[in-house]
Amino acid sequence: MKLHIHLDFNSTTPVDLRVLEAMLPYSNPQFEIEGSSTHLLESKSLEVVEKARHQVASLIGSRDEEIIFTSSATEAINLVMNSVYERYAYRGNHIITVKTEHKAVLEACNNLIRKGAEISYLNVNAEGLIDLNELQNLFTEKTILTAVMFANNETGVLQPLKKISEIVHANNSILFSDATQAAGKIDFDVAEFGIDLLCVTGHKFCGPKGIGALYVGRKNTDVVLREHINIASKETNFRLHTLKISEIVGLGLACQLAQKEMWDNNSHISALRANLEHQLLDFSGLRINGSTKNRLYNTSNICFHGKKSVELFNVLRKFGVSFGSSSNSLAVQPSHVLKSMGMSDEDAFSSVRFSLGKFNTQEQILEVINSIRQNIYA
Ligand code: PLP
């Protein structure tokens, strides 16, 4: 049987079989029914949950007690945005974020606007990077939160978070980073980067879907999330049926594997992308969208200038890539990320995101290139 080629790892990833295997013993409903009534299984579950918490903490360089399990990055984002807004209402209502954030952050901002928040949206340049001077100039006495994503899901562009955190803290604000795309792919340490709040999600690095984590740093900030108190007490008053043990075990192991195998994955995937881009750039009119210097090693957002989106879609959809558009209930729109980088609607529609992963091979890259050569540039 020929396996489907999946070049859309930024969207979601297949679960690593080792992760699935580790989850299996905890996926049996019998385990949970018995577990809720037997002390032994309850303490065993507590043990595996704490092990997973340690594995997540280790991946991002935090302390174990700074990790809260969530059902997704989206949940963590909403938890952060809503609770910081409520918790610090006495100080102000101003939040800074970036035009190219994921919709989960932008939608959370829209909800807060309805509650009275003032949001400033940082611009990005043609490379997708923010301007640190613009950031510095946006702070007011009312700025309570700055939300800047670590790596962009469409372009892979990495924002200069260390410098951003210095500016944010000098202005007495809290830094939240959506690290959904960076976690498990690149090595970073929340303490070293000076990040106060950060989220990750399992399904972006070969872990299970429906499980993520929120880091709430306690070292340098007095961040106490309102709802966090409820969640934390739920975890500490541990009740088996309230936690998804198998998903938590899977997330923990996925973090451990990603950390242990990061450099192997990096070199394998970097070589795949180098080959893909090397061959693609041979075709005339193609260019890479976003910074090529400050970028995740797995992402390649390519503008097929002059080519119609429908043509690209017909040829490339079988490879599971993403296109430079997003649809809402009313219409297909050009990507807000590419538009924020100053691209025309036409070029945004002619753009394709390839996001590679550890299960991809050079043969698959060759197949994509051949298909493009035969069907688009024949
Ligand atoms: N943030 C970014 C940058 C993402 O790429 C995604 C998923 O595509 C999310 C947040 C949402 O993640 P989840 O599916 O865990 O809610």
Q: Where are the domains of the chain?
A: 17-260, 262-375
Scan for tokens 């999330």, then name that residue.
Answer: 225
Neighbours of 161 (CB within 10 A): 23
In this predicted structure, the answer to whether residue 240 has a pLDDT above a threshold of 50 is: no
Mutation test residue for ligand 1: of 180, 197, 199, 326, the one with most atoms within 8 Å of CB: 180
> According to CATH, what is the number of the domain 262-375?
3.90.1150.10
Mutate to test the pocket of ligand 1, among 153, 206, 209 (most ligand atoms within 8 A of CB): 153
Please give the structure tokens belonging to residue 237.
């008053």
Q: Assess if CATH 3.40.640.10 describes domain 17-260.
A: yes
Give the number of the atom of ligand 1 that is nearest the alpha carbon of residue 149: 3
Residues 323 and 304: beta-carbon distance below 8 Å? no
**Span of 217-221, 259-263, 346-350 with lowest mean pLDDT:** 217-221
pLDDT category of residue 230 using cuts at 50, 70 and 90:
very low
Token pair, residue 168, equals 């944010």
Give the model's pLDDT for residue 45: 75
Ligand 1: residues within 6 Å at CB? 72-74, 102, 104, 149, 153, 178, 180-181, 201, 212
- pTM for the model stands at 0.93
Q: Cα of 342 to ligand 1 centre, how many Å?
A: 24
Report how far ligand 1's centroid is from the alpha carbon of 73 (Å).
6
List all residues 6 or more positions away from 328 whose beta carbon is below 8 Å from its beta carbon.
none
Average pLDDT of every residue of the chain = 89
Ligand 1 atom index nearest CA of 202? 15
User: How many alpha carbons lie under 13 Å from residue 189 in its C-beta half-sphere?
Assistant: 4
As a whole number, mean pLDDT of residues 247-275 equals 97
* Mean pLDDT calculated for residue range 317-336: 76
Q: Whose CA is nearest to atom 5 of ligand 1?
A: 153
